[in-house]
Amino acid sequence: MRIKTINIKPAALTLSTVLVLAACTKHSSPGTIEKPYPVETDSVYKPADPSVPPTVGFFLDGWQSRTFTAPDTMTGSVPSYAATDSLTINVNQVVAKVPPYLYGNNSNLWMGQIVTEPSLMQYIKDLSPRIIRAPAGSNSDVYFWNGVDTAHRPWDAPDSVLNASGKPVYIGDWYGGNWGGWTLALDNYYTMLSQTGSTGIITINYGYARYGRSANPVAAAAHLAADWVRYDNGRTKFWEIGNETYGSWEAGYYIDTTKNQDGQPYKVTGALYGSHVKIFADSMRAAASQVGATIYIGATLYQQAPGAGDDATLQGWNTGVLANAGAAADYFIVHNYFTAYNTNSGVVDVLSSGLTVPGAMMSYVRQQVSAAGLSQKPIALTEWNIQASGSKQNVSYIAGMQAALTLGSLIKNQYGEASRWDLANGYSSGNDMGMFNSGDEPGAPKWNPRPAFYYMYYFQKFFGDRMVADTLRRALLNNDINCYSSTFSSGQAGTVIINSGALNHVVAVDFQHFPAGSHYYWYTLTGGTDNAPYSGQVLVNGTGPSTATGGPLNYATLKAYSMPLRGSIKVWVPPYSVVYLVADKK
């Protein structure tokens, strides 16, 4: 059966929008829909899964079929205006089985001993990131997992490391055995994983291989990593060698050569890092074998072509890593913060980044691997977010829309794993990348979910285990609308519709080869009116937060809109909104 479409109820239509819709109704043009499609008998529902892409690989091993559970509902409404856009979804054409580890997040060492925070633990469990990275981005390279305090730091680890200016700075107090209230002990990281139904991905301390002052600092650092694998005892499959080692901000990028005893250079190179990765990998795999565990080890690549002004380390990073560690690594790691650094980016730049950056990055990395004469391997994006600043972009609903665009783009572009940065951080006048308020955001309770939480929560709830092909035909001659469509193994089909523009749209949806059931369901997420255009509020089916920022805390029981499935679906997609829709099967 073929079905026609969706529905969302706008708060109001502007006169200009009404005129645009009226014009679309009166004047036929490519993409204009003047009346619903007739109900048709269609070919049988018989999807076929594609082969596993090499850039996904073993990250799909944890794939499980998903069953859609219909939410509680309230009656929605169908727009009376003609459709401005038509979406055709072919449920038999599977684009990709959805890797389970694309919805991940990052923990950090300054979150506190959060397993004692029941509200936050419930939020994370509801979010269901499935994979949470540790220990803490750049601080991973000054982290001693088995230390307790400074007195228990390895004897050959210095008190200071060189910063981005080559000046000595205190190494910090980052220890896995520190149970102080301000930090996160390693055992509590494992407890957090257990409480939230997540698995781990761990970044080991590579910097120690550079700044360590023993006769063989690489062996000492590799041994420390191997001891962690033994202590982990099979709980963690995915391991990373260092964090952004190509960056001057990273501990170990520069070292004090007067204190180094194995002749390492002042500045790291990709070739040096690659040769060290092999040593780490050998030690860690031997440790995994001793405890009967299977692990996968990742090496860091740079995510884009270096600029003309970038230094020699960055210019030759990927070539050096791939030549020396391309065979030793099980997967490759990239990081990306999508928008221009420390820039007051506009809405168009923020939203378009979610569409364009994942594809451009994957294309570049694949080209680099191929040029090195290597077979493609799984790709993990273990840190991502936006780095816009100045207008509270990061804590806004626009950041949530960008997250929804990014998730769909990651699936489409065949990533194996992705972890957003990060669970909680610091408000920093609204430049906070944390998904939850750590307690310093004005007008919001501690651990209050930011808007991005809601966009990622409903994406997982309403996006199935297979992405399927869709075709969008636009009538308004703009690119405001983008869609990602999917099916559940339990038989339902649906789509995520994102309106990145300032006009109302009415989208008609045509499912092909779909045994349609009795109803369809949807949620519409929109922003508030504060701090335009970067509202810190999100409204779900018209229900907003009870506090200054965030969204409705009854999200788990909030009713979806629903309508009978009677041959056509048509849905409102308001300006700057995301619609999550699923249709019943027969």
End-to-end Cα, the chain, rounded Å: 10
Nearest to residue 473, comparing CAs of 436, 432, 509? 509
Q: What is the dihedral of CA 404, 408, 411, 415, to 10 degrees?
A: -50
Q: Which residue bears the tokens 């055709």?
A: 88
Burial of 86 (0-12, 13-18, 19+ CB in 10 A): buried
Give the CATH architecture of domain 104-462: Alpha-Beta Barrel (3.20)
Q: What is the pLDDT of residue 42?
A: 55
Q: Where are the beta strands (DSSP E) in 257-378?
A: 296-300, 331-336
Q: What is the dihedral of CA 259, 262, 263, 266, to 10 degrees?
A: -50
Pure H helices in 175-333:
186-196, 208-211, 217-232, 270-290, 312-315, 317-325
CATH match of 3-99+466-585 with 2.102.10.10 = no
339: number of Cβ within 10 Å: 23
Residues 6+ apart with CB under 8 A from 23: none
Per-residue tokens: 184: 């996160």
> Which parts of the chain sit beneath pLDDT 50?
1-41
Per-residue tokens: 157: 């680890």
Chain centroid, CA 406 distance in Å? 7
Q: Which residue bears the tokens 């055992």?
A: 187
- Separation of alpha carbons 188 and 193, rounded Å: 9
For residue 88, the cross-strand partners are 471, 510
Do the beta carbons of residue 506 and residue 85 sit within 8 Å?
A: yes
**Identity of residue 252:** G
Long-range Cβ contact pairs of 303-311 (< 8 A, separation 24 or more): 303/334, 303/335, 303/336, 303/361, 303/364, 303/365, 304/336, 304/360, 304/361, 304/364, 305/364, 311/248
For the chain, which residues make up each domain, given as ranges?
3-99+466-585, 104-462
Q: What is the pLDDT of residue 2?
A: 33
For 95, list phi and psi in degrees, rounded to 5.
-80, -40
Buried b (16+ CB within 10 A) or exposed e, 174-188: bbbebeeeebbbbeb
- The angle subtended at Cα 364 by Cα 472 and Cα 319, nearest 5°, is 170
Element (H, E) at 259: none
Per-residue tokens: 355: 């569409």
Nearest to residue 147, comparing CAs of 189, 178, 170? 178
